[in-house]
Structure 1
């Protein structure tokens, strides 16, 4: 197949492109920087400079590539350091790419007759209830205003992509080189404390496993929503001390919710004390997906030692 990977030079794109190439696909991958074209070529793709926020740039790139499938992996997460106190600033570029970039790619696909579009989303939901979320459960940002603003992009994807007949991949929290470096650095410097009882749930996924699931979604022309997470959702109180141990760091400090809210804001408190885990049963069943790292325990240990 001819596969167009928007955001091919990002943390996931760098793992996805080689896997697609290894399976015999012809890949066109985009970057916003001409300096990264050489990287894309070394990964086996034809590199193209494209501005995902410019409809004309997207339309021209897609028309020239004539792909059988488009994969949207564009984010702005590599443009700065995470800032828990001002998360709106950090996530604003990614929200624009998830809203405007998604619309531009869907429009380009329709204009050029591309039959399949796969779009990156995020497995994080703060709505009421308990238990693992399946693909039938929508992303719910909950009542906290800042979290609702940060979720604007995934809410847009959740709405428009299925209506267009596309595929939404709700990835868990990425880890692996290039994806978790900032978190590990904060843990080693003891700048990532355990808030309250650490009761928030997270679902993790190694970059290589996220890429392999994406390849299967493209090859099988899967439609609808798929949770791309490992087998073991975990509460912060379990995974954070374990990550610290794997990274050779001291055990994270514990701070009460009220203090964390004053120092880091509502987003950090929600992240550490609320949220759901996600089920990967549908992805494994329908795509025949097998994980390299079924649990973050194995992945953290092998990646961080």
Structure 2
């Protein structure tokens, strides 16, 4: 198939492009940086330099490629800071999830591309009820005030992609980890800059970046339209995974802070994720995308990630 991959040099795209090429697909891959063109060409893709917010540029690039499938992996997550002011930190990514999504959907309509696969996130579930959510569970009706715009952008993509094309799929990824994806995260744990707030009762779902890419490829190649949680098999509370990661990196156990102090030092969003976040089930993706993660548990994935980073 002819596949148009945006955000092709990001955390997921860097694995997705070689996977698609290796499976015989004809891949056109975009980047905003001319300096990354040679790497995309070496991976077997036809590179295109385009800004996802440039509507005319996006439509022209898609028109030239004439893809059967468009993959939306555009984010600016590498530009984020400490997440105290989430809407500010996510502003560029939110624009790509709204205006950038609209540009790709307009391009898909123009060339008749029936299938669009887009990168979402599973941070949008309601922080009530069961601790592990399925795709049918309600979304958070009251996001943290500092994250209202960022959550609205995720929800916008989540809704508009399946509505706008015959085969629209949104992958609600868990928290990324893996080489190059979250090295600063490890460094923060090593320096004891990531404490357990309150009881650490928030449940997180993780996904290694290679596994995220393999799910995206599965969605390119088949599966019914809709939304899918793309996470590993083991949602876990902060009080469990954070000390485990600290031990792996050779750090002292994470500090513990009461909620009031965490709110003062880190902000409401971090406190909420540490104490109220919900995990997600991957049962639908396993069944309907015929996808199986290489790292079904973050325990094994973390170990491999940390060891590779220390070499």
Q: TM (normalized to structure 2)?
A: 0.95
Say if 1:138 and 1:120 are closer, same or farther in 2 by CA, change over 3 A.
farther
Whether 1:162 aligns to 2:162 is yes
> Structure 1: how far apart are the matches of 2:93 and 2:142?
20
Would you identify which runs of 4 or more consecutive aligned residues in structure 1 move more than 3 Å? none
1: CA distance, partners of 2:156 / 2:235: 25
Which residue number corresponds to residue 228 of structure 1?
A: 230
Aligned residue for 2:172, secondary structure, equals strand
Task: State the secondary structure of the residue aligned to 1:29.
Answer: strand
Gaps of 5+ in 2: none
In the other structure, the counterpart of 2:121 is: 122
SS in 2 for 1:89: helix
Change in 2 beyond 3 A, CA 1:141/1:208:
farther
Which residue of the partner structure matches residue 104 of structure 1? 103
Query: Which stretch shows the higher mean deviation, 116-125 or 148-157?
Result: 148-157
The equivalent residue for 1:219 is 221
CA 169–284 in structure 1, closer or farther in 2 if over 3 Å, else same: same
Deviations 1:15-36 (A, max 9, x none): 1111111111111110011111
**1:290-305 aligned within 5 A:** 290-305=292-307
Q: CA deviation at 1:171?
A: 0.6
Output the aligned Cα RMSD. 1.3
Deviation at 1:149, TM superposition (A): 2.5
Q: What secondary structure is seen at the aligned counterpart in 2 of 1:88?
A: helix
Structure 1 unaligned segments of length 5 or more: list them.
Answer: none
1:130 match: secondary structure: coil
Output the CA distance in 1 between the equivalents of 2:127 and 2:273: 13
Q: CA deviation at 1:221?
A: 5.0
1:239 aligns with 2:238: no
Say if 1:143 and 1:21 are closer, same or farther in 2 by CA, change over 3 A: closer
Alignment correspondent of 1:172: 174
Structure 1 contact 127–141 (Cα < 8 Å) conserved: no
Distance in 2 between the 1:11 and 1:18 partners?
Answer: 13
Deviations 1:23-60 (A, max 9, x none): 11111110011111111112221110011111101101
Q: Does 1:19 align with 2:15?
A: no
Contact 1:141-1:151 within 8 A present in 2 as well: no
Alignment of 1:131-170 (within 5 A): 131-140=131-140, 142-164=142-164, 165=166, 166-170=168-172
Q: Which residue of 1 aligns with 2:61?
A: 61
Partners of 1:42 and 1:141 in 2: CA distance: 45
Work out whether residues 116 and 221 of structure 1, in 8 Å CA contact, stay in contact via their aligned partners in 2. Answer: no
The answer to whether 1:84 aligns with 2:83 is yes
State whether residues 119 and 170 of structure 2, in contact with CA within 8 Å, keep that contact through their aligned partners in structure 1: yes
Q: Is the 8 A contact 2:86 2:147 kept in 1?
A: no
What's the TM-score once normalised by structure 1's chain length?
Answer: 0.96
CA distance in 2, matches of 1:221, 1:66: 22
